[in-house]
Amino acid sequence: MNKLSTIAKRFIKEDDGLETIEYAVMTALIVAGLVAALGALSGAITGRFGAVQTTVDGIT
């Protein structure tokens, strides 16, 4: 049990991987924001492409 306690204390003291975790969380938040933005804009994009298609169909 003493060895486990020593390992646990060393694990808590070490912060080498902290920056990696911070970057991973930041990247996940950016990706989530991009997905939300694209989801919100998808209707507008679809509508704009529909308008262009209607215009092009009217030309021919």
Q: What is the pLDDT of residues 1-34, one digit of tens each?
A: 577 788 777 777 776 667 788 889 999 999 999 9
What's the predicted TM-score (pTM) here?
A: 0.53
Distance of CA 4 to the CA centre of its chain: 36
Give me the pLDDT at residue 19, please.
Answer: 78
* CA-to-CA dists, residue 21 to 9, 30, 41, 60, angstroms: 20, 14, 30, 56
Give me the pLDDT at residue 22, please.
Answer: 86
* Residue 53 belongs to domain spanning: 26-60
Two structure tokens written together for 52: 């262009």
Any domain includes 21: no
For the cut 70, the answer to whether the pLDDT of residue 43 exceeds it is yes
Any domain includes 36: yes
Two structure tokens written together for 45: 């994009």
Number of domains in the chain: 1
DSSP state of 60: -
Give me the pLDDT at residue 16, please.
Answer: 67
